Amino acid sequence: MNKKRVAATALVAVIMGGLGQGAHAQIQSAQVTGGAVRGVVTNDIASFKGVPFAAPAAGKNRWRSPQPVIPWKGDRAADHFAPACVQDTAFAVRLGAPPEVSEDCLYLNVWTPARTPADKLPVMVWIYGGAFVGGGTNWPLYDGTRLAEKGVVLVSVAYRVGVFGFLAHPELSRESGHGSGTYGLQDQIAGLRWVRANIAKFGGDPNRVTIFGESAGGISVNMLTASPVAKGLFQRAISESGGSMAPPISSGNAGGGVPVLALAEATGEKFLSGLGVADIQAARALPADKVLAGTRGIPRGFWPTVDGYVIVGDQYELYRSGRFNDTPILVGTNSDEGAAFSPPKASPASYEQQVRAGYGAKADLILAANPHATEAEAFAATKNLFRDSVFAWSTWRWASLQSQRGKGKAWLYYFDHRTPASPAGASHASEIGFVFRKPGKSPTEAEQSLSELMSSYWVNFARNGDPNGSGLPPWPAFKDAEPQAMHFDQTPGTRPGVPNYEQLKAMDEYFAWRREQATQISR
Of the chain, the percentage scoring pLDDT greater than 90 comes to 89
Q: Does the annotation count 80 as an active-site position?
A: no
Q: Which amino acid, residue 30?
A: A
Mean pLDDT for the chain overall: 93
pLDDT at residue 233 greater than cutoff 80? yes
Q: Residue 62: which of 227, 232, 366, 286 has the closest Cα?
A: 286
What is the per-residue pLDDT across 39-65, written as a single tens digit (0 to 9) for each? 999 999 999 999 999 999 999 999 999
**423 pLDDT above the threshold of 70:** yes
Active-site position among 215, 220, 342, 394: 215
The separation between CA 358 and the C-alpha centre of its own chain, rounded to angstroms, equals 26
Residue 260 pLDDT greater than 60, yes or no: yes
pLDDT digits (tens, 9 = 90+) for 274-295: 999 999 999 999 999 999 999 9
pLDDT of 22 higher than 50: no
CATH of 3-522 among 2.120.10.30, 3.40.50.1820, 3.90.1640.10, 3.90.180.10: 3.40.50.1820
pLDDT of residue 92: 87
Q: What is the pLDDT of residue 498?
A: 94
Please list, in sequence order, all residues whose beta carbon lies within 8 angstroms of the beta carbon of residue 130, skipping any fewer than 6 positions away.
87, 91, 136, 161, 215, 216, 217
Catalytic residue among 428, 449, 451, 452: 428
Residue 14 has pLDDT above 50, yes or no: no
* pLDDT at residue 253 greater than cutoff 70: no
Q: Is the pLDDT of residue 4 over 50?
A: no
Q: Can 251 be counted among the known catalytic residues?
A: no
Q: What residues does each domain of the chain span? A: 3-522
Per-residue pLDDT band at 256 (split at 50, 70, 90): confident
110 near 152, Cβ under 8 Å?
no
pLDDT in tens, 165-193: 999 999 999 999 999 999 999 999 999 99
Contacts of 389 (CB under 8 A, 6+ apart): 246, 254, 255, 256, 507
- Hey, which residues does 110 pair with through a beta bridge? 48, 155
pLDDT of residue 257: 84
Residue 164 in this model has a pLDDT that exceeds 80: yes
The answer to whether 428 is a known catalytic residue is yes
Least confident segment among 10-14, 234-238, 289-293: 10-14
Give the helix, strand, coil percentages of the chain, each rounded to 5. Answer: 40, 15, 40
Pick the catalytic residue: 149, 337, 352, 431?
A: 337
CA gap 260, 454 in Å, rounded: 37
- CA pseudo-torsion sign 289, 293, 298, 303: positive
